Structure 1
């Protein structure tokens, strides 16, 4: 994936206003099972964003348990879990 204004190309990424970076989704043990964890969105949430968009990946293989969305929603952040094509 490419981010407007960046020369980098990403396979997996995190994006927030003014910045994008590669997301090493296996860095904290995230796999298709045990799903996306609250720690996966923690860094983005700390950037004072209003909305977090989580793409489910190819074939919607990545699952997002309620606890992942709830931790962000408790802080007033809108969480949208979308199919791959809709997420970007």
Structure 2
């Protein structure tokens, strides 16, 4: 099995802003909402899958994370935990054998960075506002 690229590191989180440092990129990138995975990071555009606070993160949102080889996924529910997670999404991750953490954004960032520092194949969806 080929070796996976390392997951990016989150260097800062505040309301409406997530700063991420990727080994594959030069410097730090900023996002409002982000998808992070082994080897990269990109903006999480909710319009791609029709995601909204309710009913929340859907299976289509996590497929890209799985495609990049994630063995652990961190889902942030927003600073005020307004973003929900559909049960089907958790079922999809469970079926894939992925360890999943669902947390408010600040706690999600802390957990993600712990896993990233331990060289886990960690991925995450991060919502930096409500």
Between 1 and 2, higher relative CO (CA 8 Å, sep ≥ 6) is seen in 2
1:25 to 43, 46, 65: 46
Q: CA deviation at 1:27?
A: 2.2
Gaps of 5+ in 1: none
- Aligned CA RMSD, in angstroms, stands at 1.2
Aligned length: 88
SS in 2 for 1:58: coil
Which structure 2 segments of 5+ residues have no match? 1-17, 110-130
Q: Which runs of 4+ in 1 moved over 3 A?
A: none
Greater CA radius of gyration, 1 or 2? 2
Pick from 31, 35, 55: which aligns with 1:34?
A: 55
After superposition, the C-alpha distances for 1:56-88 in whole angstroms (9 at most, x for unaligned) are: 013100001221111011111111111111111
TM-score by length of 1: 0.91
**Secondary structure in 1 matching 2:90:** helix
Q: Which has a greater percent of strand?
A: 2
